[in-house]
Amino acid sequence: MRAPDNADLYRRLNRFTWLMDLYTDNFLRLQAMAEFDALSAGVYLSEGRDGLRLRLEVLERHAYTIECKLSYTLRDSRTGALDPSAMIRVYLDSRQCEVSHCYVGRRWQDVLGVHPSTERMVSHRLRMNGFLNKWLQYLKQQGHGRGGWRREEGVPEPAADVM
């Protein structure tokens, strides 16, 4: 195995830097839509100008992280799961958020294999978080945002939605 040359090292660092910048941008976009300090565990709904209901489910809240799921209230005809959806981990201390996965019932190991290369893992994370970035931008344009969320009480967890 050869040592990476400077161009290869720069390209890898550049992609990693891009990913970290994407995490920060996603945090800012999501923070503009939903004020994290005000959200406790539960389900919140927002209705945009496009008439689609957006569902933000705060699964767990810790001192420095929030685990949540963002999806429309649309169901996939094959799986019955909410689609599209993204499992998101918000890091409050570093002001970043990342998509951990977007596929129903599939973790990164299912998509990439048990021992993916670092480059393959970074490429996969860039695709998922690029999707989130574009989706958050679209949601803002559709009017989803602060003040538009209402908490849903007694909302059952969808049985078919296994993430």
Residue 127 token pair? 């695709």
Mean pLDDT by 10 residues, the chain (163 residues): 60 81 95 85 90 92 94 80 84 94 63 76 88 94 85 63 41
Would you give the distance in Å from CA 43 to the centre of its chain? Answer: 16
Domain ranges (residues) in the chain: 7-151
What's the confidence (pLDDT) of residue 111?
Answer: 65
pTM of the model: 0.79
Q: pLDDT tens, 111-156?
A: 667 777 878 888 888 999 999 999 999 999 999 977 788 888 876 5
CA nearest to 105, candidates 136, 82, 125, 121: 82
What is the Cα–Cα distance from 68 to 86, expressed in whole angstroms?
8
Residue of 97, 105, 112, 117 whose CA lies nearest to 159: 105
